[in-house]
Structure 1
Amino acid sequence: MAKRKHLPSNKHKGLLIYCYKCKKNFSWTKRYIKQENGIHTKEENTCGLTKKNFSKCKEHEIHKYKSRIHIPGTRDKKAVKTHDAETYDQAVSQAIEFENEFKGIREIDFNPEVSPRRHYLIDAQVLYMDFLENIGVPEHKKKDRSKKHIDEIEKTIEFFNNALKKNKVNPKIIIISKINDKHVGYFHKYLLEDLHHANRTYNKKMGIIKSFFIWSIEKFELKMTNPFKGFQKRPETSDNETITADEFKKLLEIISPLNGYVMEGKSKKNRYRDYLKDAFELGLHTGGRREEVVELKWNMIKETNNEPSYIVVSNLKVERQKGKAFADNVKPKIIPITQSLMKLLLRLGYNENIGSHEYILAPNRKAKTQSMMDAISKGFSHYYDLLGTERKLQFKNLRKTYLTYLVSALGGEAKSLSSHSTDEVLQKHYIDKKVVDKAVKKLDIFG
Structure 2
Amino acid sequence: MKKLKYKKFTGLHIVCKKCNKNIEVSSVPYRGCVHPIDKQKYKAIVKINGIRKTRDLKATEYDEAVKELLRFKEDLANPINITSMLPEIKYELLVDFIMMYSDWLENINVPKYEQKIRTPKYIRETIGYLLKLAQFLKDKGHDLEKLTIYQVNKFMLGDYYEHLKQTIKSPSTFNHNLRAIKNFYNFLVYEKELIILNIPKKMKLLYESPNPTTIADEDFLLLLSKINPEDSIQTLKNGVKKNRFRPYTKDGIELCAYTGMRLEEVTSLKYSDIIMSADRKLDYVIGTDLKFQRAHNSDSTKAVKTVYIPVSPELENLLKRLNYQENIGLDKYLIAGDENITRSSLAKQLSHSFTFYRRQAGLEDGISIKHLRKTFLTKLHLQTGLTESMGYQKTASVVLKNYIDKTAVAREVKRRNFSFFRTVGN
Same fold (TM over 0.5): yes
SS at match of 2:242: strand
Cα 1:404–1:91 shift into 2, 3 Å: farther
What one-letter code is carried by the residue in structure 1 that aligns with 2:55?
A: K
Could you tell me which of 245, 250, 275 is aligned with 1:272?
245
Cα 1:225–1:166 shift into 2, 3 Å: same
Instruction: Give the Cα–Cα distance (whole angstroms) in 2 for the partners of residues 55 and 280 of structure 1.
Output: 43
> What is residue 160 of structure 1 aligned with on the other side?
133
Q: Does 1:284 align with 2:290?
A: no
| Alignment deviations for residues 135-154 of structure 1 (CA, whole Å, 9 cap, x no partner) | 23334444333332222112
Cα 1:295–1:116 shift into 2, 3 Å: closer
| Alpha carbons 1:273, 1:375 under 8 Å: kept | no
Q: Does 1:359 align with 2:333?
A: yes
Instruction: Give the Cα–Cα distance (whole angstroms) in 2 for the partners of residues 171 and 217 of structure 1.
Output: 21
Instruction: Give the Cα–Cα distance (whole angstroms) in 2 for the partners of residues 225 and 2 of structure 1.
Output: 43
Could you tell me which of 222, 228, 234 is aligned with 1:250?
222
Q: CA deviation at 1:207?
A: 0.7
Q: Does 1:337 align with 2:311?
A: yes
Q: CA deviation at 1:282?
A: 0.3
Instruction: Give the Cα–Cα distance (whole angstroms) in 1 for the partners of residues 120 and 185 of structure 2.
Output: 21
Q: CA deviation at 1:225?
A: 4.0
> What is residue 83 of structure 2 aligned with on the other side?
none
SS at match of 2:199: coil
Instruction: Give the Cα–Cα distance (whole angstroms) in 1 for the partners of residues 220 and 267 of structure 2.
Output: 20
Instruction: Give the Cα–Cα distance (whole angstroms) in 1 for the partners of residues 117 and 179 of structure 2.
Output: 20
> What is residue 111 of structure 2 aligned with on the other side?
138
Q: Does 1:299 align with 2:272?
A: yes
Cα 1:408–1:55 shift into 2, 3 Å: closer
Instruction: Give the Cα–Cα distance (whole angstroms) in 2 for the partners of residues 321 and 57 of structure 1.
Output: 31
Q: Does 1:373 align with 2:379?
A: no
| Alpha carbons 1:333, 1:418 under 8 Å: kept | yes
SS at match of 1:188: helix
Cα 1:254–1:136 shift into 2, 3 Å: same
| Alignment deviations for residues 229-286 of structure 1 (CA, whole Å, 9 cap, x no partner) | 1112223344622222222222222211221111112122211111111011100010
| Alpha carbons 1:143, 1:320 under 8 Å: kept | no
SS at match of 1:216: helix
| Alignment deviations for residues 146-204 of structure 1 (CA, whole Å, 9 cap, x no partner) | 332222112111111012223333444444344342132122133244x4453221111
Deviates more, 1:119-128 or 1:300-309: 300-309
Q: CA deviation at 1:92?
A: 9.4
What one-letter code is carried by the residue in structure 2 that aligns with 1:271?
A: R
Deviates more, 1:363-372 or 1:236-245: 236-245
SS at match of 1:248: helix
Q: CA deviation at 1:294?
A: 0.9
Instruction: Give the Cα–Cα distance (whole angstroms) in 2 for the partners of residues 206 and 228 of structure 1.
Output: 8
| Alignment deviations for residues 197-234 of structure 1 (CA, whole Å, 9 cap, x no partner) | 53221111001111111122121123444211111222
SS at match of 1:356: coil
Cα 1:116–1:280 shift into 2, 3 Å: closer
Q: CA deviation at 1:2?
A: 8.5
| Alpha carbons 1:3, 1:86 under 8 Å: kept | no
SS at match of 1:124: helix
| Alpha carbons 1:177, 1:222 under 8 Å: kept | no
Cα 1:365–1:139 shift into 2, 3 Å: farther
> What is residue 55 of structure 2 aligned with on the other side?
64
What one-letter code is carried by the residue in structure 1 that aligns with 2:357?
A: Y
Cα 1:56–1:357 shift into 2, 3 Å: closer
What one-letter code is carried by the residue in structure 2 that aligns with 1:317?
A: K
Instruction: Give the Cα–Cα distance (whole angstroms) in 1 for the partners of residues 151 and 306 of structure 2.
Output: 44
What one-letter code is carried by the residue in structure 1 that aligns with 2:141?
A: K
| Alpha carbons 2:289, 2:305 under 8 Å: kept | yes
What one-letter code is carried by the residue in structure 2 that aligns with 1:248?
A: F
| Alpha carbons 2:47, 2:53 under 8 Å: kept | no
SS at match of 2:101: helix
Q: Does 1:309 align with 2:300?
A: no
SS at match of 2:282: strand
> What is residue 231 of structure 1 aligned with on the other side?
203
Between Structure 1 and Structure 2, how many residues are aligned? 334
Cα 1:251–1:124 shift into 2, 3 Å: same
Instruction: Give the Cα–Cα distance (whole angstroms) in 1 for the partners of residues 106 and 46 of structure 2.
Output: 24
> What is residue 402 of structure 1 aligned with on the other side?
376
SS at match of 1:262: strand
| Alpha carbons 2:46, 2:54 under 8 Å: kept | no
| Alpha carbons 1:163, 1:186 under 8 Å: kept | no
> What is residue 210 of structure 1 aligned with on the other side?
182
Instruction: Give the Cα–Cα distance (whole angstroms) in 2 for the partners of residues 55 and 159 of structure 1.
Output: 30
Q: Does 1:388 align with 2:362?
A: yes
Instruction: Give the Cα–Cα distance (whole angstroms) in 2 for the partners of residues 321 and 91 of structure 1.
Output: 40
| Alpha carbons 1:141, 1:323 under 8 Å: kept | no
**Structure 2: gaps spanning 5 or more residues:** 1-6, 13-44, 69-87, 393-426
Instruction: Give the Cα–Cα distance (whole angstroms) in 2 for the partners of residues 392 and 187 of structure 1.
Output: 27
Cα 1:116–1:367 shift into 2, 3 Å: closer
| TM-score (ref. length: structure 2) | 0.69
Cα 1:397–1:138 shift into 2, 3 Å: same
| Alpha carbons 1:4, 1:61 under 8 Å: kept | no
SS at match of 2:308: strand
| TM-score (ref. length: structure 1) | 0.66
Q: Does 1:349 align with 2:327?
A: no
Instruction: Give the Cα–Cα distance (whole angstroms) in 2 for the partners of residues 191 and 327 of structure 1.
Output: 40
Identity of aligned residues (%): 29
